[in-house]
Structure 1
Amino acid sequence: MIYSALPAFKKVLLLGPVFLALITGAFLWGNPAPSQAQMAAAHAGSESDAQKSLVVESGLMGVLQDPQATRHSFFDVAALRGFYESRDNEPAWVRGRTRYQYKAHHILEVLEESWTHGLDPRKYHISEIKALLDAPFGQRRFELELLLSDALILYGRDLTGMRIDPEKRWGKIPQKVNYWRRPLEAREILERVSGTSDVKNALRSLEPEGKLYGALRRELVALASQPAEDGNSPLHFKGVLRVGDEHKAVADIRRYMGMDPEKALNGKYYYDDELAQEIMAFQYRHGLEPDGVIGPQTVALMNVTRQDKINQIVANLERLRWVEQNKPDRYILVNIPSATLWAVDQGAVKLEMPVIVGKKGRPTNSFKTEITGVRFNPNWTVPPTIKRDDFLPRLKEDPYYLSKRGIQITQGSGRNARHVDPATIDWNTATQRDLGQIRMVQSPGRSNPLGQVRVIMENPYNIYLHDTNKPEYFKKNSRALSSGCIRVSKPKELAAFILDKNDGWSAQKAENILASGRLTDIMTDEPLPVYILYQSVWQDDRGRIVFGADLYGQDRQLIEALSGKKGFQVPENLVKSASTLPLTGKKSGLELGSVNQ
């Protein structure tokens, strides 16, 4: 075979070990590149684009054969090796002066924007990539190629799945209720990006869809563009202020709202209508009831810092990336912090309602499962937590406490189940195991906490969507009031949506069953997915960002797991370049919002 006819990467092998050692030694350890004399002796025409590509290919082969030799630790060496072997060791990003600048610089631009997703650009080798792009071509170019590939793998995985191990954080989670996306495999990321000339578009196709994700990115950029806290003291006002009240704290509150702090009447600071309008708008933006009353919750939110909001945005961007992007045609979604439920069909919201979720000590879990039916006129079996924490102390004082409320106590199961006189049980010595052998059941009726409707949805947490016997709670703006289950404000409408695809089903049939008072299960012809999510920042119906309460402290826990105690650190040197980015979602999608009261 004639030497000149050989592919470039095979010519390297014929040039001999001395030449290869010169190249790989310089690349691997950062020594100066081979001299012009050495390169000329090895092969003529070393300045050509083909020869420069040859240098890169030889370096790739050396590292992939001995990954321990390089100064860098790559995420998935096997994937890199397979990717380049499939390309005959041809570089994907570094291909001569013109082409390598085109792709490599575009990749770098996207990596520098990664902070707008709440990701850390330093993880993606941007300093090293910049330095190598600025270096003369002959120095460590294969290292640039592999760093770009490794950065793409890391970035692509972070953008398409979880960055933490959920089981290390929350313990074993049954697969059937796990809604989290799995990150793309390293090889798939490289194939996707290398298969197109538009690497920017290929990388942006990995981003979550939907307007909310884009809105949160814009909010993050806006917050990052603001000056850091100016050192103003936090508000220390205690008590309650209503319109017409006079208090010296009004000056500080006006200053916080961007108003003239010195406005006073006869030397006194009154809470006037002008300030009340600003306060109500502030309360609405932060998920509080916009009543204009300045109390502890409103003051606490005024003391939230810029860094606090940045951390909250980053935590919510992270969780949005966990959720599968291609949802089914019909599903139900509940957002815990906004206490809202949506029923969606063909991308359109058919039903929206306020719900009641678990209180802080008894949180509602985040999970995905399937609705398989509706139980009309349900009985209520008291869950273990309520048995132990709520009823046992009462039973110690009065053994007939439950009996007076229509709740029967049984022991045994199946045919061996029998009603028990509560006075025959020594409640003072009852253990957790004893309580586990006792069933407390309330028959269907008006006083039943499940109301008239309970959704059948298997899950290990015993969390259900159900009606309630206390509808007045839906009037509250803060609705974290249950023991973990989700109480719905429109149970009949929800049942109608769930059973809408059942042949022959009608609203009249539902009314007849409810009127009978008998416990009746109607199963769905097809399972209906339901997602229970935790997003503490959302958009209202006008697209405005609402900072809700971190009910269970999950934002703080997540940020500490991802970024440490200091929280997410904005790379100030990259903020200006991101201010003009078109940070929009690719689809309108379903936005997590609040229900108009």
Structure 2
Amino acid sequence: MGRRLALVAAAPLAFAAPATGQPTTQSPAATPAAQTSAPQAAPPVLDLPPPPAPPVEIPALTAAQVDVAIRVLRAADAHGLQPKAYLPDGVAEGADLGMAQNAALSDGLLRYARDVKIGRLEPGRFPALWQIRPAAYDPAPELAQALAENRLQAWLDSLPPRYSGYVALKRGLARYREIAAQGGWKAVPEGAKLELGSNDPRVVALRARLAVDDPLVAAAGPATFDKPLEEAVIRAQRRYGLKPDGVVGPGTLFHLNQPVGQRVLQIIANMERWRWMPATMPATRVQVNSGAAIVTLFRDDRPVMSMKAVSGKKGDETPMLTSMIHSVVINPPWNVPSGIAARELWPKERASPGYFARNGYRVIPVEGGQPRLQQASGDQSALGRFKFDFDNPFAVYLHDTPSKGGFDLYARQASHGCVRIEKPRALAEALLEGNSTWTAEGIEKQLQGDKTVRARMNVQVPVYIFYWTAFGGSDGQMQFRADPYGWDRELLQRVGVLASGVKA
């Protein structure tokens, strides 16, 4: 026995006005001749919506399929989902389900399939800056086919993202839930900084804390801060994106003392974002992680170049998006956005007349509007010597910068939304590889002056700007960042994992 699931509601019919624009009622006095000679009004044109999709018939689950479904839905928490959202009340493995319970279980499978494949956030709930969004997905036809062909388990296994980044988070979620089940970790008391040679009772607490999620640390040890403990602190600092100096000050202590439940929620939020990705990404691409401020070039699906970046600060967040890098601008001028000019630059000119001239700005009159500012190309330009252009609704891009000191910071969210990159020339040469004009020598020659040129790429390269605050490291350990935009918390609230106002 099966049931039919109507997927698309029929829309009301809409009728177009008569084409002649004349009244549609005919005068009784009109003669046959007049009727013959008058132009015939076109029949009304029906502006019909597309026909609704035929309903999909979902076969009833067999007893064996019921058991598979229950096992998978009970394990939904392995993907950061909530089993109670999918499992109907009163169903159990081996039970003989009635028609209503069987249908309810199918409904749970449909909700689970959608959530684990494309995420729980409805299309209308995405903020404007979250432009990486999943494609629409209707699991009903696939479920019907999987049941009919008796391959329910294989279909359910195929739904979660196959990316190694997602798999690492799934493994990390299991590990940190295990830590939580064992009682988590105790906070290291605040106090003076701890470093090599410190003899402080808090060293014992520090060692015990590090041992919880670092398998190389023994929980028991001396109360003196020794070399192995310093190495463990450095490993932890690297996992949190901090300066790896081996000194436990307020910043390191803050990250160590985040409760394990916070780390579990952070992993769940990042797993959710992975579900927005396409099933596969192009083998050659540029990836930007604005949460960690890192840019990576992939070729043949392998990272071949990685560099530090400076992404947008809070209030000027770098959006999540995907686009195509189509050109490299060498010696770009900076057309200053009006908001930045009004907030930051005009006040400097008023406070110190001549500031514009000293810093290469010129004022460009605009008829009937506010003049705009442009900073000339060259070493003073805020865009440095390279700009990487890709179409997007936010006018953001990757670019060089004369302010290299920003790359020495460990919290590198400081721009107005664009992404400053540490090795712009290396990236430009890699993206323009194969272009007979823009060889390394051609680029060098152009850099000898300040003339602006746009180097069109032979093949456009996809760029993905993500926001990852939890991810697996090369050593198999979880890495965490500080959620600089608060987007982990916002996402968890939007999908109902956290109540509004609760800190993630």
CA shift, 1:238, in A, is 4.6
In the alignment, the residues of structure 2 paired with residue 180 and residue 376 of structure 1 have an alpha-carbon distance, to the nearest angstrom, of 32
Is 1:536–1:548's contact at 8 Å kept on the other side of the alignment? Answer: yes
In the alignment, the residues of structure 2 paired with residue 499 and residue 231 of structure 1 have an alpha-carbon distance, to the nearest angstrom, of 50
Alignment correspondent of 1:368: 322
In the alignment, the residues of structure 1 paired with residue 131 and residue 449 of structure 2 have an alpha-carbon distance, to the nearest angstrom, of 38
- Deviations along 1:442-500, whole A, 9 cap, x unmatched? 11111212111101112222211111112233233332222221111111221122222
Runs of 4+ more than 6 Å apart = none
> Structure 1 residue aligned with 2:149, among 196, 205, 218?
196
Is 2:316–2:415's contact at 8 Å kept on the other side of the alignment? Answer: yes
Alignment correspondent of 1:351: 305
Is 2:67–2:94's contact at 8 Å kept on the other side of the alignment? Answer: no
Taking structure 2 as the reference length, the TM-score comes to 0.81
Is 1:156–1:189's contact at 8 Å kept on the other side of the alignment? Answer: no
- Deviations along 1:211-231, whole A, 9 cap, x unmatched? 221121111112222344859
CA shift, 1:345, in A, is 2.4
Q: Please give the secondary structure, in 1, of the residue aligned with 2:288.
A: strand
Q: Does 1:254 align with 2:254?
A: no
Q: Please give the secondary structure, in 1, of the residue aligned with 2:417.
A: coil
In the alignment, the residues of structure 2 paired with residue 505 and residue 405 of structure 1 have an alpha-carbon distance, to the nearest angstrom, of 29
Alignment correspondent of 1:411: 365
Q: Please give the secondary structure, in 2, of the residue aligned with 1:390.
A: helix
Is 2:185–2:209's contact at 8 Å kept on the other side of the alignment? Answer: no
User: Structure 2 unaligned runs (5+)?
Assistant: 7-51, 212-217
Farther-moved stretch of structure 1 (540-549 vs 499-508): 499-508
Taking structure 1 as the reference length, the TM-score comes to 0.69
In the alignment, the residues of structure 1 paired with residue 308 and residue 148 of structure 2 have an alpha-carbon distance, to the nearest angstrom, of 46
| Shift in alpha-carbon separation, 1:244–1:388, aligned structure 2, 3 A | farther
Q: Where do residues 504-515 of structure 1 align in structure 2 (5 Å cutoff)?
A: 505-515=438-448
Q: Please give the secondary structure, in 1, of the residue aligned with 2:110.
A: helix
Q: Does 1:147 align with 2:104?
A: yes
> Structure 1 residue aligned with 2:371, among 438, 459, 464?
438
> Structure 2 residue aligned with 1:331, among 275, 280, 285?
285
CA shift, 1:293, in A, is 1.4
Q: Please give the secondary structure, in 1, of the residue aligned with 2:327.
A: strand
In the alignment, the residues of structure 1 paired with residue 80 and residue 346 of structure 2 have an alpha-carbon distance, to the nearest angstrom, of 46
Alignment correspondent of 1:165: 122
Q: Does 1:211 align with 2:211?
A: no
RMSD: 2.8
In the alignment, the residues of structure 1 paired with residue 144 and residue 74 of structure 2 have an alpha-carbon distance, to the nearest angstrom, of 21
Identity of aligned pairs, percent?
Answer: 28
In the alignment, the residues of structure 1 paired with residue 316 and residue 131 of structure 2 have an alpha-carbon distance, to the nearest angstrom, of 20
In the alignment, the residues of structure 1 paired with residue 239 and residue 274 of structure 2 have an alpha-carbon distance, to the nearest angstrom, of 20
Q: Does 1:459 align with 2:416?
A: no
- Deviations along 1:342-385, whole A, 9 cap, x unmatched? 22223232322221212233221111112111100111122344
Q: Please give the secondary structure, in 2, of the residue aligned with 1:402.
A: helix
| Shift in alpha-carbon separation, 1:260–1:539, aligned structure 2, 3 A | closer
In the alignment, the residues of structure 2 paired with residue 289 and residue 501 of structure 1 have an alpha-carbon distance, to the nearest angstrom, of 38
- Deviations along 1:291-328, whole A, 9 cap, x unmatched? 11111211111211111011001001000111112222
Q: Please give the secondary structure, in 1, of the residue aligned with 2:118.
A: coil
| Shift in alpha-carbon separation, 1:528–1:262, aligned structure 2, 3 A | closer
Q: Please give the secondary structure, in 2, of the residue aligned with 1:289.
A: coil
- Deviations along 1:405-448, whole A, 9 cap, x unmatched? 221222216xx9xxxxxxxxxxxxxxxxx7xx221111111121
In the alignment, the residues of structure 1 paired with residue 356 and residue 152 of structure 2 have an alpha-carbon distance, to the nearest angstrom, of 66
Amino acid at match of 1:201: A
| Shift in alpha-carbon separation, 1:563–1:134, aligned structure 2, 3 A | same
Alignment correspondent of 1:36: none
Q: Does 1:476 align with 2:397?
A: no
Q: Does 1:536 align with 2:469?
A: yes
In the alignment, the residues of structure 2 paired with residue 232 and residue 525 of structure 1 have an alpha-carbon distance, to the nearest angstrom, of 54
Is 2:284–2:300's contact at 8 Å kept on the other side of the alignment? Answer: yes
Q: Please give the secondary structure, in 1, of the residue aligned with 2:474.
A: coil
Is 1:160–1:182's contact at 8 Å kept on the other side of the alignment? Answer: no
Amino acid at match of 2:111: L
- Deviations along 1:377-400, whole A, 9 cap, x unmatched? 111122344323322432342243
In the alignment, the residues of structure 1 paired with residue 182 and residue 353 of structure 2 have an alpha-carbon distance, to the nearest angstrom, of 58
Amino acid at match of 1:402: F
Is 1:354–1:489's contact at 8 Å kept on the other side of the alignment? Answer: yes
Q: Does 1:122 align with 2:84?
A: yes
Higher helix share: 1
